[in-house]
Structure 1
Amino acid sequence: MMQRKQALLVGIGALTVLLMLKWEHTITLENLMSSKQPSAEPELSKDTITPIPGSRHLMVSAFKDHRLGGAIRVISIICRQELQPLYCVLCANANFKADASAKANANVDAKADGALGQCTSLRAKVHLHRDGFGFGIGFGFPFVTSDVLCMSPMLQQATHVSITANLYTRLTFLSIQNQEVKELFRYNFTVCISNLFGEYNNALQFAQTMEVYKLIGVQRVVIYNTSCGSDVEKILKYYSKEGMLEIVPWPIDKFLTPSTGWSYDLHHGDIHYYGQLSTLNECMYRYMYQSKYLLLNDIDEIIMPYKHANLEKLMGTLQQQHPNAGVFKIENHIFPKTQFDDSGRFRLPRWRSVPGVNILEHVYREPDRKHMFNPTKLLINPRSVLQTSVHFTLKQFGLVFNVPFDVCRIIHVRVPLQGQLSKDQLFVDKKLWEFEELLIPSIDCALNESGVL
């Protein structure tokens, strides 16, 4: 079965190469840097969001996709109402001027004088991501998460790429990540949290969630930060210094008017939920060869095993039972923050000054809503996925498995969806209390060391 899967991947990659060759429009380096634009000195992007010259589009980051014959995939945000020809400029042995912070962000050596090295250019192919909910593309918003694909057999060793609508303008390049396929991973489980925005300051719930994740086997958390409150900022700095958290700046509001909701008809704006789909896909490719598994969920959600002690044992069982699955859908279950445990067992006085929700107090779970879509979040093998949305993948290799809710489910403490239900109509679920002995001291430590307490 594995040999057939590998043969299929190779076949898909070869077909992609053949198709891309049809688009190639090679331009010499002399033309690229011609006297038409003598001041167009190339530079390396210092930011996580970079405008595409000659357009309203934006590029985010670039990755080599070995599953598609070495195609360069540039995670981008495309204005679908203004689609136009786009070009890839691929360069090898390029060196750029950059300061230390830019080098750290780009993960490249920038030690020479802005030399491009060997380059080639070609027509790009743009794949707009669908939302999968029947809204078509990008939940109906004008700006859509997209893959801009580049492939040239002339430059398989490319290290940098630029996307442009005008080959004779100033170029800004991205470092191409995932240059090598790796089979040994730094992390077993990484959580991708798509966005912080609106001065988010739910510090207590965030610290509690991070400590729960440690106890069930998460080694890395990635957060895309647009804005947060002062207390959450202290917590972020604490976990970043500790080494568990990577904070990726996400200044989407400097380029577009983000929507705070999921539907264009209801919430308006330029792009769905502060570019949530872009950050989830970016995180998936960023950690493709760093983490064995990724958990794609929100900051107020915990993907929790119920029949296994931790995530490693859970996935050991699930992969043994479903060896061809690379996507595992986990049901979302609501724990209303308006209903409190009557005993007051975890209503600790020292936590009262910390802003946010105390998830240990909320042990009542809503029943499933009949005849309603029950949202899911994802636990994936990132090497099995090409594109993802929020609640399900859009393109993947292999099978998708719906995990039974009694095996694993999401603990989601938030405003109720069924606020009309009384407490005796809800289910009691004290799963988090099982971690009390280790959890309480670790939360106290995080709050004290971060300076929130």
Structure 2
Amino acid sequence: MRKCFRYTFCALSMFICVVVITFSYHVQFRHRKMRSQKLPIATDTITALDNRTFIISPYYEPRLGQSVRVIAIIHVSVKELYCIFHCSSNQNVFVRAEIDLHSDRFGFPYGTADLLCAEPFGCHYTYMSFSSTNSTKTIHELLFEVKNRPPPPISSNFTVCISTLYGNYNNILQMIQSIEMYKILGASRVTIYNTNCSQDVDKVLRHYIDEGTLEVVPWPIDHHLHTAKGWRYSKVPTAEVGYFGQTAALNDCLYRNMYKSKFVLLNDIDEIILPIKDWDWSSLMENLQNKYPDTSVFRIENHIFPNSVNISGFDLWSHVPGVNILHHSVREPINWKLFNGCKLIVNPRDVFQTSVHSALKQRGRWKNIGSDTVLTFHCTHKYRRDIPTEELIPDDVLRRHNMSLVPNVDKVIQRLFPQQ
């Protein structure tokens, strides 16, 4: 009888323990679920995880197995980071990130990095968060939506990525002329990263956003780090990151448009990639791909058209601030002993990392394309100050498009900046 009572008591005690543990588990589980649902979603382009790590955006990466690539800016001392996948089963799965700091940091203590995280098996997710350790106490209390999952269908042939506007940018006329030329050449989308600009430039940006041509990505890098206008840390040792984090912006733009655009062009707002033998980018790329079928990165020679030399007498739009690129139809001869930064046309689905003048990691080949086929029309200050004006090379390649460019630009200016 006592044995039976003892067994009954033990069984009852075990049952009570199981009930208590199960109840506690469900209470904790429910609490985690509620907390997860209340986490805010990150809306800023740049989000500080701490003072050494800044998250830009996570992107689905199907090319390396099922994984997520997170574009970030990190300090060179960062060696450990974790992706936390928020599964639909209400589980948070920690995955240690493989940190790939890009090779073109130019000596600055902060640089662009990829955080590569393998998808956890059986985890259906939309959002993730991040931590500097694998402790649940250190989870950054923001959710980031993983973009490109699933990859969307390609909806345009050419997208131009431009970074970054800074220094209260106010070159209104050249911006309008450049965007109109991009449209003439075949761009269906232009993406601009904007740190700061004037009110008049903002008016231009809003016009092209409303038109459906432009996507403007806020880029408040100067709110987080001391930035430099130059590329070499030795020239600006007080800065933390080079040239307003341009390489991070370009890589984000690459992934943002990876599955939307057949080709992506990487250049600045004062540059236009101009075909010489062909009329537009579609015919240019068709010919280049036929000639170089295994090539995914095309490097286009940079040619300086000094904006200090005006030989055209073209005097439309003198009331609009900025450089009139139609004034400038002579270019500097290239000195091949000096660095000449190319700009890029890439198949984004074959590129893993890009810098400003070359891709860092890609599938397929890269190819330098000569100026007899295409060139980068770069209308800016004189690069080689030792060259007298009479030695500059006449080149009216841009004026071939005047019949379309002039009325298109004039239409925008009459709408936004009519003469009083």
> TM-score, with normalisation over the residues of structure 1?
0.82
Residue 394 of structure 2 aligns with an amino acid whose one-letter code is V
Deviations along 1:176-208, one digit per CA (max 9) or x if unpaired, are: 0111245x4111000000111110100000101
State the SS of the aligned residue for 1:276.
helix
State the SS of the aligned residue for 2:179.
helix
Q: Does 1:64 align with 2:60?
A: yes
| Contact 2:194–2:216, Cα closer than 8 Å, also in 1 | yes
Supply the distance in 2 between the matched residues of 1:32 and 1:434 (Cα, whole angstroms). 67
Supply the distance in 2 between the matched residues of 1:143 and 1:32 (Cα, whole angstroms). 39
Instruction: Pick the aligned partner of 1:289 from 259, 281, 299.
Output: 259
Residue 242 of structure 1 aligns with an amino acid whose one-letter code is E
Q: Does 1:150 align with 2:91?
A: no
Deviation at 1:31, TM superposition (A): 9.1
State the SS of the aligned residue for 2:84.
strand
Deviation at 1:420, TM superposition (A): 2.5
| Contact 1:238–1:449, Cα closer than 8 Å, also in 2 | no
| Alignment: residue pair count | 389
Supply the distance in 2 between the matched residues of 1:33 and 1:63 (Cα, whole angstroms). 29
Structure 2 equivalent of residue 129 of structure 1:
102
Instruction: Pick the aligned partner of 1:90 from 75, 81, 85.
Output: 85
Superposed counterparts of 1:167-178, under 5 Å: 167-169=136-138, 170-178=140-148
Instruction: Pick the aligned partner of 1:212 from 176, 181, 185.
Output: 181
Runs of 4 or more, structure 1, over 6 Å off, are: 28-35
Structure 2 equivalent of residue 98 of structure 1:
none
Pick closer, same or farther for the CA change 1:331–1:452 going to 2, 3 Å: farther
Supply the distance in 2 between the matched residues of 1:308 and 1:232 (Cα, whole angstroms). 31
State the SS of the aligned residue for 2:137.
coil
Structure 1 window deviating more from structure 2 (150-159 vs 301-310): it is 150-159
Structure 2 equivalent of residue 5 of structure 1:
none
Q: Does 1:180 align with 2:159?
A: no
State the SS of the aligned residue for 2:85.
strand
State the SS of the aligned residue for 2:205.
helix
Supply the distance in 2 between the matched residues of 1:230 and 1:155 (Cα, whole angstroms). 49
Instruction: Pick the aligned partner of 1:339 from 291, 305, 309.
Output: 309
Deviation at 1:229, TM superposition (A): 1.2
Residue 285 of structure 1 aligns with an amino acid whose one-letter code is Y
Deviations along 1:59-100, one digit per CA (max 9) or x if unpaired, are: 00010111010210110011113x14211101234xxxxxxx
Gaps of 5+ in 2: 1-24
Deviation at 1:387, TM superposition (A): 0.3
Supply the distance in 1 between the matched residues of 2:27 and 2:49 (Cα, whole angstroms). 22
Structure 2 equivalent of residue 46 of structure 1:
43
Deviation at 1:370, TM superposition (A): 3.4
Supply the distance in 1 between the matched residues of 2:127 and 2:168 (Cα, whole angstroms). 34
State the SS of the aligned residue for 1:68.
coil
| Contact 2:166–2:194, Cα closer than 8 Å, also in 1 | yes
Pick closer, same or farther for the CA change 1:156–1:34 going to 2, 3 Å: closer
> TM-score, with normalisation over the residues of structure 2?
0.88
Superposed counterparts of 1:87-126, under 5 Å: 87-93=82-88, 117-126=90-99
Supply the distance in 2 between the matched residues of 1:242 and 1:387 (Cα, whole angstroms). 31
Supply the distance in 2 between the matched residues of 1:192 and 1:445 (Cα, whole angstroms). 24
Percent identity for Structure 1 against Structure 2 = 41
Please identify the structure whose Cα radius of gyration is greater: 2
Pick closer, same or farther for the CA change 1:39–1:237 going to 2, 3 Å: closer
| Contact 1:192–1:222, Cα closer than 8 Å, also in 2 | yes
Deviation at 1:155, TM superposition (A): 4.4
| Contact 2:93–2:120, Cα closer than 8 Å, also in 1 | no
Deviation at 1:441, TM superposition (A): 1.1
Supply the distance in 1 between the matched residues of 2:179 and 2:123 (Cα, whole angstroms). 40
Q: Does 1:226 align with 2:192?
A: no
Q: Does 1:159 align with 2:126?
A: yes
| Contact 1:237–1:450, Cα closer than 8 Å, also in 2 | no
> Root-mean-square deviation (CA), in Å?
2.2
| Contact 1:340–1:362, Cα closer than 8 Å, also in 2 | yes
Q: Does 1:256 align with 2:225?
A: yes
State the SS of the aligned residue for 1:281.
helix
Supply the distance in 1 between the matched residues of 2:410 and 2:29 (Cα, whole angstroms). 58
| Contact 1:41–1:171, Cα closer than 8 Å, also in 2 | no
Residue 126 of structure 1 aligns with an amino acid whose one-letter code is I
Pick closer, same or farther for the CA change 1:31–1:64 going to 2, 3 Å: farther
| Contact 1:73–1:149, Cα closer than 8 Å, also in 2 | yes
Gaps of 5+ in 1: 1-27, 94-115, 132-137
Pick closer, same or farther for the CA change 1:332–1:31 going to 2, 3 Å: farther
Supply the distance in 2 between the matched residues of 1:395 and 1:30 (Cα, whole angstroms). 48
| Contact 1:234–1:451, Cα closer than 8 Å, also in 2 | no
Supply the distance in 1 between the matched residues of 2:393 and 2:54 (Cα, whole angstroms). 46
Structure 1 window deviating more from structure 2 (55-64 vs 202-211): it is 55-64
Superposed counterparts of 1:340-355, under 5 Å: 340-341=310-311, 343-344=312-313, 346-348=314-316, 351-355=317-321
Deviation at 1:267, TM superposition (A): 2.5
| Contact 1:49–1:59, Cα closer than 8 Å, also in 2 | yes
Pick closer, same or farther for the CA change 1:256–1:155 going to 2, 3 Å: farther
Pick closer, same or farther for the CA change 1:297–1:34 going to 2, 3 Å: same
Structure 2 equivalent of residue 7 of structure 1:
none
Pick closer, same or farther for the CA change 1:39–1:435 going to 2, 3 Å: closer
